[in-house]
Amino acid sequence: MTSPAPVLDLAAIRADFPLLGERVNGHPLVYLDSGATSQKPQAVIDAEVAFLTRSNSAVHRGAHTLAAEATELFEDARATVARFVGAPPEQLVWTSGATAGLNLVAYAIGNASAGRGAPASARLALAPGDEIVVTESEHHANLIPWQELAARTGAVLRHIPVRDDGTLDTDAAATLIGERTRIVAFPHVSNVLGIVNPVGDLVTLAQRVGALTVLDACQSAPHLPLDLPALGVDLAVFSGHKMLAPYGIGGLYGRSEVLEALPPFLTGGSMITTVTLDEAQYLPPPQRFEAGTQPVSQAIALAAAVRYLESVGMLAVHAHEKSLEARMGEGLRAIPGIRLLGDAAGAERVGLWAFDVEGVHAHDVGQFLDARGVAVRVGHHCAQPLHRRFGLTASVRASAALYNTPEDVDTFLDALSGVRAFFGAGS
């Protein structure tokens, strides 16, 4: 029998996050915008400050004591973050975030298509008529790089539609993913719908035709136990700032044989073995993809964020956020004039809901809530095609994290219940 996840000590956790003690517009802050960026615990802030004040030096470049110490901390951070996603260190490339990781992959495949790279790179090359399959629910970061790659190579971009309830149309996916499919890119969790997508089903469909799978794990890494090798994906990206870490750091996971086949994208120092005036030889992954000065203090802080999440326990985090999601969903359904996006019965979810308020623009809703100390996201959430699918240009999104409380949810719902009356759009 599986043991129940431990109950979180929310008072202790909240005390670890300095910003949560602030007041906004005269009200205690209710922060429900972690899907955009998370707050940082003091341990993460301290880890970055400690490096900058005691160990700051260039990594992989010097022979002096500080350089060796900085390099050791940097690579220890890689091992810590790689372990968090179930991978060995050599399968984790540092990036500035998920957007950079996705662009790295798309442009590297473009380089392979142009005949660059080792002999193994040829199997990644795209030809006119080859197909790249994405979903209708993509964040722009997992859509536009593939649009550009298709434009450069003559490949065809296709998309898996979303059903009315927000779930992916897996029947359509089985039809779309075929002999000409070379890449299947999709989100683990939609940043608008909050629904956990059927990774195993999509990976199986892709593997049957030998297609590469690319997973956007931005909205799952902070909220779910994550084992990327076990999921079977070839490549995956995540961002530190959504998982309690600073801006400017993220990770690209890749199976070793895939990373070894990818040609470099950015070039310069630190990713080479030998350089002449006419040519260069490149290091193996992950260093092959880490040209120039790296985000060292940010990587060390991301490792501290991972250790914090591990100390709480990802099963406990997920269970707590699932209870917040259920409370939020029930409350939203009870408010007249609220239309939930992705309200699929029985779907596995994270603690995130996007919705439309009848008769009130999303930005007005956000300002109304902000005046009461409640921070949410408004707009298209970098997912314009998905909003268009539901006949909207914008929505309101409330997203929870491990530090949110049931009282946060209740305060949000109470404030939201007065929006339509305030704007004369209903009771």
**Residue 179, Cβ density class (10 Å: 0-12 exposed, 13-18 middle, ≥19 buried):** exposed
Coil, helix or strand for 66?
helix
**Helices (runs of H) and strands (runs of E) counted in the chain:** 15, 17
Question: Is residue 6 scored above 90 in pLDDT?
Answer: no
> Per-residue pLDDT tens for 23-50?
999 999 999 999 999 999 999 999 999 9
pLDDT above 90: residue 263:
yes
Q: Where exactly are the structural domains of the chain? A: 10-41+314-422, 47-310
Which of the pair, 69 or 427, is modelled with greater confidence?
A: 69
353-406 pLDDT, tens digit per residue, is 999 999 999 999 999 999 999 999 999 999 999 999 999 999 999 999 999 999
Instruction: Give catalytic status of residue 382 as yes or no.
Output: yes
Residue 82 to residue 59: CA distance in whole angstroms = 19
DSSP letter at 6?
P
What is the model's pLDDT at position 3? 59
User: Is it the case that residue 193 has pLDDT exceeding 90?
Assistant: yes
Condensed to tens digits (0 to 9), the pLDDT of residues 76-133 reads 999 999 999 999 999 999 999 999 999 999 999 999 999 998 889 999 999 999 999 9
Cβ burial, residue 352 (10 Å; 0-12/13-18/19+)? buried
Assess whether pLDDT exceeds 70 at residue 427: no
Per the CB < 8 A criterion, the answer to whether 111 and 126 are in contact is no
Confidence label for 2 from pLDDT (cuts 50, 70 and 90): low
pLDDT tens-digit profile of 170-187? 999 999 999 999 999 999
What percent of the chain has pLDDT above 70? 99
Q: Where does 10-41+314-422 sit in CATH, by number?
A: 3.90.1150.10
3-class DSSP state for residue 7?
coil
Query: Residue written as tokens 């990976």?
Result: 203
pLDDT at 426 (0 to 100): 78
Is 349 a residue whose pLDDT tops 80? yes
Looking at beta carbons, which pairs linking 61-65 to residues 24 or more positions away fall under 8 Å?
Answer: 61/270
pLDDT of residue 251: 98
Catalytic residue among 89, 382, 390, 417, which? 382
- The rounded distance, in Å, linking the Cα atoms of 45 and 247 is 12
Can you tell me the mean pLDDT for 222-244? 98
pLDDT higher than threshold 80 for residue 189: yes
What does the alpha-carbon distance between residue 162 and residue 173 come to, in Å, rounded to a whole number? 10
Annotation: CATH topology of 47-310:
Aspartate Aminotransferase; domain 2 (3.40.640)
Q: Note the pLDDT of residue 107.
A: 97
Distance CA 125, CA 394 (A): 37
Q: What is the average pLDDT score of the chain? A: 96
